[in-house]
Amino acid sequence: MIALLAFVTPRVAGAQSGATVVSIQNARFQLTRTDNVNGVLAVAVRDPGLGNLLRSIGAAIQWHPGESYIVVTAPDRRVITLTLGDSHINVGGVLQGLPFVPYTDGGEAFVPFDAVARALYLAPSHEANEQIELQPLLSGLEVVRDGQRTLAILHGGAALRFRRVLDRPDRFEIALPGFASRLDPVQRIGAPGLESLRITQRHTAWESATVVAFYAGRDSTHAILPGPSTSELVIAFAPRGVSLEGPLPAARAARIPLRPAVAPVALGNAAPPLSSPVPLPTAVSRATPTALPAIPEPLDSAAAAATPSPPAASVLPAAPPPAAHVTGYQIQPVDDGIRLTLKVSGTATYEWHQLRDNRFYVDVHNALLDLAPEDKGLDQNIVAVRTVRVHQFQKTPEPIVRVALDLGADDRVTVTPGAGTLVLFAPGAPVVGVRIGSGRLGPTFADDSTADGALAESGLTVAGAAAAAQTQPLAAGTNPKLIVLDPGHGGSDPGAQNPAAGLIEKNLTLEIAKHLRTILEGEGWQVVMTRDSDKDVGYAFDSDKVELQSRADVANTRGARMFVSIHINSFTSSVLNGTTTYYYKPQDLALANSVDRALSGLPTKDDGIRKANFYVLHHTTMPSILVEVAFLSNPDDARLLQSPAFIQEAAQDIGKGIDSYAGSNSGGSSVLTAPQSAGDVGDAQEDGSKK
């Protein structure tokens, strides 16, 4: 205990005021036990929001008062340790520097939040009002030869939800929405059924995605196999006729690693690693486009046991690659915006951030600026961008060139890597989707048909074309007896969960919707449900926008009179409880009022109605509402949700509200004008993302 006294709180610049909200993959978590150490966010190890955040990605953190070690278990089974009073974090046996030493204060251990996030392959982006967005990274790649079968195993910093973009015998391409990658963009494989692969970052108006393209012979076949965890995706390749099924080999090749954000240091006595790391084979660890890496054969268990692990001291920092050079840039006015082309020689990685205070910047890592820094004001007729600044952000420990844009509004900027260029396009259109991304640029893109950032065969433009070719939606209310019920979540998306109470949102919403359908059909309504079983409305693991648009399309293409989406609420704090009815469009308000009045009889707190920019409310053409029946994270509400009588009562009350609304508007159009006395109850909250 005496030894721990040295690790009591260091003097800091000032405590955090209020809670910090962290967003990842459309989920939000509130950190309440935070501190500010010289401008760096510190979080208590036992902060409930941190625990919930880590559990959501399959990770965990543990520390007991009186102990000096803090242990983080990653989704991919890596062990990460921090030590009170030590300025390093041990990530799988490799030490990296920390901005401050972990310390204790008031019986709590505090650690640097960003350092822990990056060790879990989550890229943090700090925004105004104490908000942080985390973007998961494609963190590793294994290629394992298993007889005549080749396994490609992708690892992510969170659950790897993917979308098939192209599926041919000679080429298989998947998109990982919301993920970024710092892996080498081109990997030559030369194994049975798999010749090479290419990793690119592609951006559209509604999402940023990492796209992985696997190139195989025309006589090859492939299949997606069950992975060890949701953060690992296993794809098997083989010549046609060879079985793809079978368990994963017990011993596997090491993954192709990320270049660490902080150079590792030689292991000393500061924090002993929990296991001795095995150095990667040289060919695999570098995996350059011109080198053909040897694919290690799987070892049997006896051989693996007999192979001694090298001492920790044998792990040496890799020599840094030669720096790229930014040799110039060009600005072209395009309507109200600009296209800025950055000229880069050599290979580099980049990371961009779209801030909420009308600023955008992109950092080109391991790059030197070969021209004088510039802070350039643009013509006042270019309303989308006011100024452009190009400068050497830092020279050590890693040279970074930063390009910053001062925007005229919170408008989006697209980033497209090419052969020796990085193109920023600011068209003056609103931001939609993620606000952080990363990728690579350099000459390896020169032979790629999509080097200029086009989305050929990506499926992202194909989806848009297919949507445009669909039958145009009917006018709202052209089928006056039809109601569309939308049970939230389903299939690959479970929604909120309370394992202790045995509650899963997708099951509860479906149960309420089925009861409500029976009630409404008994009263003469026609009812269509966006799903009537545990399934996705679109395709499994589709992006949020595609899934939610599929739900809106069910109502729009049928000309439904009403659209009712049913959800169960949840929050990181168990205090919040109650029933809330949301609306967005003016014509939604009368329906929301009627249903809210009917739901006020439930044995839950009446939270009233609120205006929120939920995607399904925004993109349906008829009166629409979204009902949050209760909080499964609240003990009292959870007990109610376990009761079949409460489920039936909730369905009956929603039905009563619908009947009341229909009775008061039976003679006219379903498009109503909100009364002037009824203002917005709450702020716009979400657009294009799941609850």
Architecture in CATH for domain 471-664: 3-Layer(aba) Sandwich (3.40)
**3-class SS string, 509-523:** HHHHHHHHHHHHHHC
Same fold, 1-120 and 471-664: no
- E-only strand ranges, 229-278: 232-239
> Is residue 633 very low, low, confident or very high in pLDDT (cuts 50, 70, 90)?
very high
**11-25, 307-321, 332-346: which has the minimum mean pLDDT?**
307-321
**pLDDT tens digits, one per residue of 51-81:** 989 988 888 898 888 888 899 988 877 889 9
φ and ψ at residue 384, rounded to 5 degrees: -75, -30
**Hey, how many other C-beta atoms are within 10 angstroms of the C-beta on 316?**
9
- 387-414 b/e with 16+ CB inside 10 Å = b? ebebebbeeeebbbbbbbbbbbeebbbb
Residue 678, pLDDT above cutoff 70: no
CATH 1.10.287.110 fits 1-120, yes or no: no
What is d(CA 461, CA 621) in angstroms, rounded to the nearest whole number?
Answer: 24
Quick one: 66 exposed, middle or buried, by C-beta within 10 A (0-12, 13-18, 19+)?
A: exposed
What is d(CA 504, CA 486) in angstroms, rounded to the nearest whole number?
Answer: 16
Domain at 134-239: CATH code: 2.60.40.3500
Give how far Cα 519 sits from Cα of 38, 333, 651, 655, Å: 60, 59, 8, 7
What pLDDT was estimated at residue 604? 95
Residue ranges of the domains in the chain? 1-120, 134-239, 324-444, 471-664
Active site residue 130: no
What is d(CA 186, CA 182) in angstroms, rounded to the nearest whole number?
Answer: 11
Which whole number is the average pLDDT over 177-191? 83
Average pLDDT, the chain: 76
What's the full length of the chain, in residues? 691
Strands 385-394 and 374-377: antiparallel
What is d(CA 158, CA 59) in angstroms, rounded to the nearest whole number?
Answer: 9
Q: Which of 195, 628, 649, 686 is catalytic?
A: 628
What pLDDT was estimated at residue 325? 92
Residue 16, pLDDT above cutoff 60: no
- Strand-pairing partners, residue 504, are 497
What is d(CA 650, CA 654) in angstroms, rounded to the nearest whole number?
Answer: 6
Helices 589-599, 644-664: axis angle to 10 degrees equals: 140
What pLDDT was estimated at residue 651? 95
Domain at 324-444: CATH code: 2.60.40.3500
Which whole number is the average pLDDT over 152-163? 85
One-letter identity of residue 311: P
**pLDDT tens digits, one per residue of 260-281:** 333 333 333 333 332 323 332 3
